[in-house]
Amino acid sequence: MRHLLEVDDLTPEELGQIIALGQSRTTTKIFEGKGVACYFEKPSARTRNSTEMAVVQLGGHPIYITDPEVGIDTRESAEDVTRTLACYHEAICARVFDHTVLERMAAVDIVPIVNLLSDQAHPLQAIADAFTMLEAFSSNKQVATDLEDRVVTYVGDANNVARSLGLAVGMLGGEFRIASPSGYGFSDVDIDRLAGVGVHVGASDRAADVVPGSDVIYADTWTSMGQESEHDERLRAFEGFQVDEQMMATAKSGAVFMHCLPAHRGEEVTDGVLDGEQSRIWPQAGHRLTSARAVLSWLHDQGDSHSS
């Protein structure tokens, strides 16, 4: 049974297969008459809409489930919730706070488990980001299938989005850089994991050290869901890390800006960058659907999908 909890659950070749599936835009009704459970411990706009529509486009019926309905580790264990949902569904897609919940669900190994977001990883976002970058670097004559010779620089907190993005960029042959304030960078464990799939991270506590020569500048909110009490402290720590027009001007000619959204306008990025010609935030949001559809199709193609 194959699951997708993080990008490096895939080999570079398998990530390439998922990219090819998404770029082909073909849709087969693999879930005709079947259900896919969409479990959300925390709410989302893009994740819920993209996942549900991906299931619909693949012929299935998505069921949106919130934590009060199943009560993981209060009413029932994560393992028993997984066994219950597997009675009705071909796959379980889950957006959770604690990554270990996903690991426990996957360990039951009855149906594919897809990570829609956890505190450790955001693989479908990273794959959507890959589609967006490859599209940006394609031409009328050639569709880009890798990120060879491309530099992707993330400016901000080295969080779950940054970890998954770094893995995807490196596995597709690109160079990954990150600028974070002291204390907000990758841990040694993160660096080792990235290195494990051949990703060398160019890290600095000054954006000016890593932004020049970049093909992509990527930002995320400085204060994520669940960190609201740290907002003022983070604003002070991240002073000087806002992506503005001046920072974008130091990147490579033709560079694009990306953000996983939602954006805190005027904090990590200016309106001028978000709404400017270099911004790819709306195609990026749209590719969340491409990503979900391609991953679900690929997992089904592995021949291990559950038969109800």
> Cα(288)–Cα(51) distance, rounded to whole angstroms?
8
Map residue 13 onto helix, strand or coil: helix
CA-closest candidate to residue 252, choices 202, 209, 200, 216: 216
Who's near 44: CB < 8 A, 6+ residues apart? 95, 116, 117
| Helix spans in 120-197 (H) | 123-136, 160-171, 188-196
CA-closest candidate to residue 164, choices 196, 220, 125, 216: 125
> Cα(181)–Cα(155) distance, rounded to whole angstroms?
9
Terminal-to-terminal C-alpha distance of the chain: 15
Instruction: Please report how many Cα atoms fall inside a 13 Å half-sphere around the Cα of residue 287, on the Cβ side.
Output: 28
pLDDT of res. 307: 44
Q: What is the pLDDT along the chain (308 residues), one digit of tens a residue?
A: 999 999 999 999 999 999 999 999 888 999 999 999 999 999 999 999 999 999 999 999 999 999 999 999 999 999 999 999 999 999 999 999 999 999 999 999 999 999 999 999 999 999 999 999 999 999 988 899 999 999 999 999 999 999 999 999 999 999 999 999 999 999 999 999 999 999 999 999 999 999 999 999 999 999 877 777 888 899 999 999 999 999 999 999 999 999 999 999 999 999 999 999 999 999 999 999 999 999 999 999 996 444 44
> Cα(180)–Cα(241) distance, rounded to whole angstroms?
8
> Cα(102)–Cα(98) distance, rounded to whole angstroms?
8
pLDDT of res. 220: 97
Residue 226 in tokens: 């669940």
Map residue 190 onto helix, strand or coil: helix
pLDDT of res. 305: 42
Its pTM stands at 0.95
Instruction: Please report how many Cα atoms fall inside a 13 Å half-sphere around the Cα of residue 230, on the Cβ side.
Output: 12
Tell me yes or no: is domain 124-283 CATH 3.30.70.270.
Answer: no
Bridge partners, 153 (sequence order): 177, 217
Q: What is the pLDDT of residues 203-240, one digit of tens each?
A: 999 999 999 999 999 999 998 777 778 888 999 999 99
CATH number of 7-122+286-301: 3.40.50.1370
Specify the domain boundaries for CATH 3.40.50.1370 within the chain.
Answer: 7-122+286-301, 124-283
